């Protein structure tokens, strides 16, 4: 069935002009039939995700509906939204299993802190595919889960998402869950851009001599200047992930980025901080065989093992699957296998 994408919201921000200037270099522009007027040129089109116009107008396309928090009888999980910073609007969606309803029974549960994907520019914890997945994961693993609603680029360019995510993590580690969950048994997880966030959070923890129990990187969004592995082959038809788009994307999302080998984007680049300092004890990585980013995940795993870090790392590559397969096709055999691995990882805490 064909999926129709409808622009769900539009914003306008004059502060995007610097990012536009950088993105404009070497990039063609086209008039957009959906623009506000004839002078509102489309300067960036991230297929199926976002369009940016020279005026500063941003259109986002959300293929999934937004859903409110609720009690979900199918999974036995309830959720609620909590604002943790009224000034910036940073919030989290908090999930708890109904089977552990009395607070005394919830104090010893592990806490999963989840960071959604979407290229740092789309999706929220309330996006239906994330909300449904966190319901299922929370119920199966019998854990508490906190899904972080960080601010999105380009209106809030990176490193704002990193800073918001760090603030949310400190809220969790500082007992923000109100006595629910064990703050000594925390796992960080994220997919795509969220996986990138998780890596950077664990590196920051490690630099401070702190650590969490583990991290899960699903289709992690790493990149770099030099083409590696499948990136050296011909473009993959039908995928939003292609080399030219990703190279240009970062100049818009992160105008202050120190090139494509900035360690926040390429953690294995020459001169990047040693992965030996990663602030967690266990790592689970998953990727799709057809994902353009698959070899970034593989080399990250190899470099982590060789770094002297000393923890446990496991990687699984789903045959025939592309970026975000476990969310796009949650009922597939490969997605079910990853879910079981995810649950097992959480239950080892």
pLDDT tens string 13-45: 444 434 333 333 322 223 333 444 555 899 888
Write out the DSSP string of 139-173: HHHT-EEEEEEPPPTTTS-TTHHHHHHHHHHHHHH
C-alpha to C-alpha distance for 229 and 231, rounded to whole angstroms? 5
- 17-31, 113-127, 196-210, 263-277: range with lowest mean pLDDT: 17-31
CATH 3.40.50.1820 domain extents, the chain: 71-347
pLDDT above 90 for 1? no
Question: Active-site residue among 32, 79, 192, 251?
Answer: 192
Asked if 191 and 104 count as a contact pair (C-beta separation under 8 A), the reply is no
* Most confident segment among 22-36, 132-146, 239-253: 132-146
> Is residue 130 scored above 90 in pLDDT?
yes
The model's pLDDT over 55-74, given as tens digits with 9 standing for 90+, comes to 889 999 877 789 999 999 99
As given in the structure block, the two tokens for residue 317 are 């590559």
Query: Please, which pLDDT band fits residue 2 given cuts at 50, 70 and 90?
Result: very low
- Is residue 334 predicted with pLDDT exceeding 90? yes
pLDDT at 120: 95
Residue 244 has pLDDT above 60, yes or no: yes
C-alpha of 300 from chain center: 16
Residue 90 — φ and ψ, nearest 5°? -60, 130
The segment with the largest mean pLDDT, out of 32-41, 235-244, 295-304, is: 295-304
Q: Is the model's pLDDT at 308 over the cut of 50?
A: yes
Q: Which residues have CB under 8 Å from 119's CB, separation 6+?
A: 46, 49, 50, 192, 193, 221, 249, 253
The Cα angle at residue 26 between residues 33 and 294, in degrees rounded to 5:
90
Residue 294: which of 271, 259, 318, 273 has the closest Cα? 318
CB 267 within 8 A of CB 278: no
Structure confidence at residue 240 as a pLDDT band (50, 70, 90)? low
CATH number 3.40.50.1820 given to 71-347: yes
SS3 state of residue 66: strand
Active site residue 192: yes
Res. 305 pLDDT band, cuts 50 70 90: very high
């Amino acid at each position: 069935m064909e999926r129709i994408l409808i622009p769900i919201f539009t914003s306008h921000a004059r502060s995007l002009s610097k990012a536009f200037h950088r993105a404009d270099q070497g990039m063609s522009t086209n008039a957009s039939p959906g623009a506000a007027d004839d002078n509102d040129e489309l300067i960036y089109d991230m297929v199926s995700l976002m369009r940016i116009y020279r005026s500063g107008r941003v259109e986002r396309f959300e293929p999934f509906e937004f859903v409110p928090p609720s009690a979900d009888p199918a999974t036995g999980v309830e959720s609620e939204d909590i604002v943790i910073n009224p000034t910036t609007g940073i919030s989290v969606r908090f999930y708890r299993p109904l089977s552990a309803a009395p607070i005394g029974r919830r104090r010893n549960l592990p806490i999963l802190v989840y960071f959604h994907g979407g290229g740092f520019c789309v999706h929220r914890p309330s996006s239906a595919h994330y909300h449904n997945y966190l319901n299922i994961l929370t119920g199966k693993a019998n854990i508490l889960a906190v899904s972080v609603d960080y601010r999105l680029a380009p209106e809030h360019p990176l490193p704002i998402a990193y800073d918001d995510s760090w603030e949310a993590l400190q809220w969790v580690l500082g007992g923000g869950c109100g006595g629910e969950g064990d703050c000594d048994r925390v796992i960080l997880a994220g997919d795509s851009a969220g996986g990138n966030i998780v890596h950077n959070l664990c590196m920051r923890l490690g630099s401070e001599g702190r650590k969490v129990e583990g991290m899960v990187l699903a289709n992690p969004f790493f990149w770099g200047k030099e083409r590696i592995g499948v990136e050296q082959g011909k473009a993959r038809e039908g995928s939003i992930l292609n080399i030219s788009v990703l190279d240009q994307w970062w100049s818009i999302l992160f105008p202050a980025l120190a090139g494509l080998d900035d360690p926040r984007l390429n953690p294995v680049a020459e001169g990047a901080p040693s992965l030996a300092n990663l602030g967690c004890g266990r790592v689970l990585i998953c990727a799709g065989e057809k994902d353009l980013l698959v070899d970034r995940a593989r080399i990250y795993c190899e470099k982590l093992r060789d770094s002297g870090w000393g923890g446990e790392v496991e990687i699984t590559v789903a045959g025939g699957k592309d970026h975000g397969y476990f969310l796009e096709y949650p009922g597939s055999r490969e997605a079910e296998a990853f879910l079981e691995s995810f649950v097992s990882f959480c239950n080892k805490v």
